[in-house]
Structure 1
Amino acid sequence: MNHAPDSQGVCPSVADAHAGSIRTDGGRAEANTESVTIESDGTAAEPDETGAANGASDPADVELNVDDDVLIDGVGMPVFILDRSGSIAAWNHSIEELTGNGDDVAIGATAPSTVFYPDGRDREMLAQVVLESPESADEREGIDLEDGELSLYAADETLTDRRGDTRHFRHTSMPLYEDGEFVAVIQAIRDRTAEVKRQEAVADLVDEVRGTLNDLADGHLDSRAAFDADGRAVDDRLAGVVTELNRTAEEFENLASEVDSETQSLADAIDRTAAAASDIAENVDDQNGLLQEGAEEMQSFSASIEEVAATTDEVESAADEARSAASEGLDASEDAREATESVVDVGEELVDDVTALGDRMDDIEEVVEVISEVADRTNLLALNANIEAARAGEDGDGFAVVAEEVKSLAEQTHDHTEEITDDIQTLQDQTGATVDAATRSVERIGQASEQIDGVLETFGEIAETIDRVADGVAEVSRTADDQAATGEELTATIETLRDRAEETAAAADRIVAATDEADTAVDELTRSVDELRANGARRDGTTAGSGPRV
């Protein structure tokens, strides 16, 4: 099984000067003399899945048979081996280049440090400690046990090489066994100088970045990182962190300034919003009060409209009754006019009849006068007859009796004629009065007829007016009903508006609360920015921001 250098720079499969090969078995490095194929780069070929490279069937028991010089030279780092006696048994080309001493000087030396260190110092090296304590070398200070199964130990060292340069090494060492017997120790030296320099450069870079970040955190918003990567073992991408940090710091400073400005603007806007929200809340409260009053007024108005509607219904009924009464009065006036015309006709006929009666009375008076004259003549004849009878004596007694009877009849006729004359005169007087009364009645009836015509015309106008009034009252009644319905709808709308106003008031209260919270948040943000700047000023004893950090 091929053992290339692990992450610690150690190749467990290196041979000692006597074994010629290494076998790993049970966590220990075992020596063996069987062969294995070596690649051109000095590494052992990996066996295939069937173990065809060396005929082995157990991957846990792999045997190598290579030249020790080829093997340790192929490791690619300084390696030497101490045999059980403590003498250097193997010394590869890499360690020759490091120390400047070849194997002709190193092989057989019993003090490895005198060959390894440029000043020839004599000090105990890690391989010598492992040689003394292969199972417990880590008990010595400064020695770590990297792999317990392999008994792999490690120790770090810094020294000045033969050119005067400071070098950093990590020594790793492990015991080698042959058939379970401890036979040698192998030590590899990994040059960590570039790595350490890289770590130091990275540490410096991290310190610079950390310091800049701390400055930024402390309020030095104009602090910038300064790191010269020239000649430093730092990857360009890693060194680019400084540029990115400075760019971010620049953006952060600009952002802080913008935040400060925007915070002030936002605070002003929030104050205006809060004031507007307060005004809205007050206006909504006033509006709500007005809507409440409006709702109450509309309720009263609706009640009044309903009363008006009821009253207009009554007025409409009364107007209908008045229209009916006017129509009846018009009809009655028409009947009265017709009756008056009939009375006028009758009166005129009565005047004519009475006038005719007067004329007849005149005729009767003439007849009575004739009768009276006849009676007077008869009485005169009777008187003459009595005279003649008296002259005749006894022969004239009968004639005298007749004459006396005639005279008596004549006197009675005369008396009756006078009575008739008196009666006729009375009748004539009464007839004249009747004619006068009838004439006056006819005149008055004519006047009444004219008045009835005026009343009839007035009744017609009244009827027309009542019709218009009735129509107007009906329209008013319908309008009142519509207004009552509209009033109810308007009342419902006002109540809805009042509810909306209450919701608006609640929303305005929430806006006020939200603006208060936003104002508080802005105040906190402003305080944070001010504290950030003030912290930097306190740390420097100056105003925040003292220029780029170097």
Structure 2
Amino acid sequence: MNYDISWGGRIRQQYSTKLAVIFGAIIATTVVAGLIFRLHIVSGPADLVVERSIASLAGLMMVTFINLGVAWIIVGGNVGLELRQLAAGAERIGDGEFDVNMETDRTDEIGTLYTSLEEMRDSLETTLEEVTEKERLAREAKEDARERSDELEIQQEKVREAQQQAERRNQELIDEAQRFSEVMGACADGDLTNRLEPQIENEATEAIADSFNDMLEEITTVLENVQTMSSTVDEMALDLEASSEQIRDASGDVSESMLEISEGATTQSQQLDVASSRVSELSAGSEEVAAATSDIASTSEDVTASANEGQEHAAEVEANIDRLVEMTDSVVETVEALTREAGQIGEITELIEDVADQTNLLALNANIEASSAGQSGARFSVVANEIKQLAEETMDGVDDIDERLSAMREQASVTAEEVHSVDDELSQTSRLVQELNEQLAAVNEGIEQVDSRIQEIDSTADDQAEAAQELSSVLTDVTNVSAETSNQSEKVAAASEETTATIEQVSSSADSLGDQAERLASILSEFDVGTGTRSNTERIAVEADGGWVDDPAGAPDRRETNDTDRTEEVTRTNDQ
């Protein structure tokens, strides 16, 4: 608000100055009128002094009455109307109506109060809108965080279950492979009594175990048959063709078994590829969850900042309400001052009423004197009657002023009570704003706790993503091992086919059966097929140039080997 430092501006801006100027003007006008009437009485003829005195007194009373009426119109009517409008506007603002028009052309204390109420209304409206928006954003963010937290917990539970299942499956496969390796190692060392017994339910491992066990059964059968056939050279020579056929069939079965093992290993490799793909998808999901958690954390920080800003606005509203309470106290003091001024005006009207009574009494005495004067006092009697009538009218005017002053005092009292009511409403609003500030602080604290929890979930999601990547790497290694196993199985199948071709050569080598039978019996004694144990003394030694054979009885039987025949046999084998 711009303040005018001129005398006119000071009078307009200070209500007490207005009252002083108005009553000063009334007193000055009354004094000037009294002086004029005094000069009029003194300058007139001596025989008309009484008449001029009465006329001057009547004129002075009329001027005083007019001045008081003007003062009442200016002070009582205007101020009372402004105060009623101000009280009504403040009451509507207290009820939550912010579209109240609080504009005024006054520049005094009442104008300042209008401006303060308007600023308070605008500030309250803006702050309440901001607080409502912050509350809505806080609720939405809280609901969003709760939904994302539930989804994150579900994803984490799925990740943990998948990880635990993959770890259990991987450990079972490793243990099963270890057991298979031990059994195969024992068989490679010559102990053919062991069998593969799967400990887990897996079609590939069961197929491998069945095929390997069938192969061992066939090999055991072959070895037993060979041992039986080696007991006598003559029987072996006669049954050589049939035995060769049996060995050829067994070799074919071995080849088929190894092919089945290869197919099982290929299937296992494909399943491991699928598992690796699933783990990769799981890892990607964990990374997405981590990214979503980071977004939630960022949103939570924004909501926290908004809540802090809402607290600051609430504090500003509380400060504005406190200032408004101080202003309403000032209004109450102003209204009380008006009441006191009205009381003083009442005293003046009582004085005027006393003067009117004295004037009426003087007019009555003058009328009595005029009656006793006879014809010469007729005009004096007319003047006395006029003065009496004027005194009565003055009394009526004074009574009217007294009634209006009483009404103004009552209105000022009602206005003071209404302003007190507005003060109470503002105090209650201040308490509500303070409670809102405390609630915003509690919301801010809850959001900080949610933000801390989200940070922990974000860290856990990152750890799970790293664990999923490590699991994917392990599955890739297992897939490579499975592929290598499939390749080795194919090589074994090819070797089995070559063995079949070699066995066919045995049928064409019946002439060397006698020599090979003894060597075969000695070699077979190294294998444990369940019919007996191996003897450390039963062994065979073959020298490169010329070998000798220890038979089971321990009698050495030296036989010369023919290098030329041996070379021809190898050449014949390669050609076939």
Provide the TM-score with structure 2 as the length reference: 0.38
Provide the TM-score with structure 1 as the length reference: 0.40
Higher relative contact order (CA 8 A, sep 6+): 2
More strand by share: 1
Q: Which has the larger radius of gyration?
A: 1
More helix by share: 2
